Chain A
Amino acid sequence: GAGVSQSPSNKVTEKGKDVELRCDPISGHTALYWYRQSLGQGLEFLIYFQGNSAPDKSGLPSDRFSAERTGGSVSTLTIQRTQQEDSAVYLCASSFADSYEQYFGPGTRLTVT
């Protein structure tokens, strides 16, 4: 079946611009995670959504980062006033509510020039 999809696959933006990254989770998965992976680094947790519960935003690095999940499905990660240090691969993952197993999308590579 269809896996987690993310768009765009690559995004180049100028410093100071806003960007939106999209994630389409696997149908039926109620949990959704966003991670940031900087070059050669591990997976940095950003935000978690579960059904209609309040999201866990504890990993967002600054107030320039925000995310929403509409209708319990598609999620958008927004970065305002991008900085060069925001350059990274942004990964989305989804899972069933009671499962630890996360299914990852291919990621969006963001480059801020």
Chain B
Amino acid sequence: GENVEQHPSTLSVQEGDSAVIKCTYSDSASNYFPWYKQELGKGPQLIIDIRSNVGEKKDQRIAVTLNKTAKHFSLHITETQPEDSAVYFCAASDSGGYQKVTFGTGTKLQVIP
């Protein structure tokens, strides 16, 4: 099955700076890569995703990049704000025969005002 590694496990940035979270995956057949944000006491929520036929995708202050050759993808948050503080999970589709994804271990992002 798929194996997803995520780094760093914790990340502290000053408000206004950029934050980058990186993930690698093992299954070259994976073709869908979502990112979820989990705020304290809540379930994860999808914030952006990318498919394997696209190299980069942007949505306001967040962007994702995908390098299929190297099997890694990244989340970039620019102009960070305190409300960006949360745990972020990357995931990759699993060739389990249905819409299953395997999640990374999470990155706790702290934005310091």
Contact = CB atoms under 8 A, between A and B. Distances in A.
Interface residues of B, number: 23
Contacts of B49: 100-101
A106 B42 contact: yes
Interface in B34-50: 34, 36, 41-46, 49
A91 B36 CA distance: 14
A31 B99 CA distance: 9
Contacts of B44: 43, 91, 104
A67 interface: no
Given A104-B45, A107-B43, A43 B103 contact: yes
Given A106-B42, A106-B43, A100 B93 contact: yes
B106 A42 contact: yes
A41 interface: yes
B100 interface: yes
A97 B6 CA distance: 28
B99 A100 contact: yes
Interface of A: 4, 31, 35, 40-43, 45, 48, 50, 56, 91, 93, 95, 97-102, 104-107
